[in-house]
Amino acid sequence: MATLRLGDDAPDFTAETTEGTVNFHEWKGDSWAVLFSHPKDFTPVCTTELGYTAKLKDEFDARNVKVLAVSVDSVEEHKKWSSDIEETQGIAPNFPIIGDQDKKVADLYDMIHPNANDTTTVRSVFVIGADNKIK
Protein backbone atom coordinates (compact mmCIF):
# COMPACT_ATOMS: atom_id res chain seq x y z
CA MET A 1 0.00 0.00 0.00
CA ALA A 2 1.15 3.51 -0.75
CA THR A 3 1.70 5.97 2.05
CA LEU A 4 -1.40 7.90 3.06
CA ARG A 5 -1.23 11.62 2.45
CA LEU A 6 -3.16 14.69 3.52
CA GLY A 7 -6.46 14.85 1.66
CA ASP A 8 -6.63 11.09 1.07
CA ASP A 9 -9.71 9.14 2.10
CA ALA A 10 -9.19 7.58 5.52
CA PRO A 11 -9.50 3.82 5.07
CA ASP A 12 -12.51 2.24 6.75
CA PHE A 13 -12.15 -0.88 8.86
CA THR A 14 -13.92 -3.04 11.42
CA ALA A 15 -11.93 -3.98 14.51
CA GLU A 16 -12.31 -5.37 18.01
CA THR A 17 -11.65 -2.79 20.72
CA THR A 18 -11.84 -2.42 24.47
CA GLU A 19 -15.36 -1.05 23.90
CA GLY A 20 -16.56 -3.77 21.51
CA THR A 21 -16.57 -4.01 17.73
CA VAL A 22 -16.02 -0.72 15.93
CA ASN A 23 -16.72 -0.01 12.28
CA PHE A 24 -14.54 3.07 11.97
CA HIS A 25 -16.55 5.32 9.63
CA GLU A 26 -19.84 4.35 11.26
CA TRP A 27 -18.40 4.84 14.78
CA LYS A 28 -16.90 8.19 13.79
CA GLY A 29 -20.12 9.41 12.19
CA ASP A 30 -19.98 13.13 11.41
CA SER A 31 -17.31 13.75 14.03
CA TRP A 32 -13.65 14.38 13.50
CA ALA A 33 -11.34 11.64 14.77
CA VAL A 34 -7.82 11.19 16.05
CA LEU A 35 -6.46 7.70 15.33
CA PHE A 36 -3.14 7.11 17.02
CA SER A 37 -0.91 4.14 17.54
CA HIS A 38 1.31 3.11 20.40
CA PRO A 39 4.04 0.48 20.11
CA LYS A 40 3.37 -1.70 23.15
CA ASP A 41 1.15 -1.97 26.23
CA PHE A 42 2.66 -1.41 29.69
CA THR A 43 5.44 0.89 28.47
CA PRO A 44 6.04 4.05 30.54
CA VAL A 45 5.73 6.64 27.77
CA CYS A 46 2.65 5.02 26.20
CA THR A 47 1.04 4.78 29.65
CA THR A 48 1.42 8.52 30.20
CA GLU A 49 0.25 9.32 26.66
CA LEU A 50 -2.98 7.36 27.00
CA GLY A 51 -3.61 8.76 30.48
CA TYR A 52 -3.09 12.33 29.30
CA THR A 53 -5.33 11.76 26.26
CA ALA A 54 -8.08 10.48 28.59
CA LYS A 55 -7.76 13.66 30.66
CA LEU A 56 -8.51 15.71 27.51
CA LYS A 57 -11.90 14.05 26.87
CA ASP A 58 -13.92 17.21 27.63
CA GLU A 59 -11.74 19.20 25.21
CA PHE A 60 -12.18 16.61 22.45
CA ASP A 61 -15.94 16.39 23.10
CA ALA A 62 -16.27 20.20 22.91
CA ARG A 63 -14.72 20.05 19.43
CA ASN A 64 -16.74 17.04 18.18
CA VAL A 65 -13.63 14.83 18.06
CA LYS A 66 -13.52 11.11 18.86
CA VAL A 67 -10.28 9.39 19.88
CA LEU A 68 -9.26 5.86 18.93
CA ALA A 69 -5.97 4.16 19.79
CA VAL A 70 -4.39 1.09 18.21
CA SER A 71 -1.56 -1.33 18.89
CA VAL A 72 -0.74 -4.89 17.95
CA ASP A 73 -1.44 -6.12 21.49
CA SER A 74 -4.70 -7.93 22.28
CA VAL A 75 -7.90 -6.38 23.60
CA GLU A 76 -7.45 -8.46 26.78
CA GLU A 77 -3.98 -6.95 27.31
CA HIS A 78 -5.39 -3.48 26.67
CA LYS A 79 -8.03 -4.04 29.35
CA LYS A 80 -5.39 -5.13 31.88
CA TRP A 81 -3.26 -2.16 30.92
CA SER A 82 -6.20 0.22 31.35
CA SER A 83 -6.22 -0.65 35.06
CA ASP A 84 -2.51 0.15 35.25
CA ILE A 85 -3.08 3.47 33.45
CA GLU A 86 -5.83 4.37 35.93
CA GLU A 87 -3.60 3.47 38.87
CA THR A 88 -0.56 5.40 37.64
CA GLN A 89 -2.23 8.30 35.79
CA GLY A 90 -5.38 8.78 37.86
CA ILE A 91 -7.70 8.06 34.92
CA ALA A 92 -8.44 5.05 32.74
CA PRO A 93 -8.69 5.39 28.97
CA ASN A 94 -12.17 6.65 28.08
CA PHE A 95 -11.87 5.83 24.39
CA PRO A 96 -11.63 2.54 22.49
CA ILE A 97 -8.26 0.84 22.06
CA ILE A 98 -8.04 -1.49 19.06
CA GLY A 99 -6.50 -4.93 19.50
CA ASP A 100 -4.70 -5.27 16.17
CA GLN A 101 -2.87 -8.57 16.53
CA ASP A 102 -3.37 -9.38 12.84
CA LYS A 103 -1.98 -5.90 11.99
CA LYS A 104 -4.96 -5.20 9.72
CA VAL A 105 -5.34 -1.57 10.85
CA ALA A 106 -1.57 -0.99 11.18
CA ASP A 107 -1.05 -2.21 7.61
CA LEU A 108 -4.05 -0.28 6.27
CA TYR A 109 -2.62 2.95 7.69
CA ASP A 110 1.02 2.03 6.92
CA MET A 111 2.00 2.21 10.61
CA ILE A 112 4.75 -0.40 10.57
CA HIS A 113 8.12 0.93 9.47
CA PRO A 114 9.85 -1.40 7.00
CA ASN A 115 13.00 -1.52 9.17
CA ALA A 116 11.11 -2.18 12.42
CA ASN A 117 10.07 -5.39 14.08
CA ASP A 118 6.71 -6.22 12.47
CA THR A 119 5.03 -6.52 15.86
CA THR A 120 5.69 -2.91 16.73
CA THR A 121 3.67 -0.05 15.28
CA VAL A 122 5.51 3.14 14.58
CA ARG A 123 4.10 6.07 16.55
CA SER A 124 1.52 7.45 14.14
CA VAL A 125 -1.23 10.02 14.47
CA PHE A 126 -3.96 10.60 11.92
CA VAL A 127 -6.42 13.48 12.15
CA ILE A 128 -9.51 12.63 10.14
CA GLY A 129 -12.16 15.18 9.27
CA ALA A 130 -15.93 14.81 9.33
CA ASP A 131 -15.64 14.14 5.57
CA ASN A 132 -13.41 11.07 6.26
CA LYS A 133 -10.39 12.80 4.69
CA ILE A 134 -6.97 12.79 6.35
CA LYS A 135 -6.20 16.32 7.50
- Selecting among 46, 72, 105, 128, the annotated active-site residue is 46
**What is the spatial distance between Cα 92 and Cα 83, in angstroms, rounded to a whole number?**
7
Strands (E), the chain: 14-17, 20-23, 32-37, 65-71, 97-99, 125-128
Q: For residue 46, indicate whether it is catalytic.
A: yes
> Helix (H, G, I), strand (E, B), or coil: what is residue 134?
strand
Catalytic residue set: 46
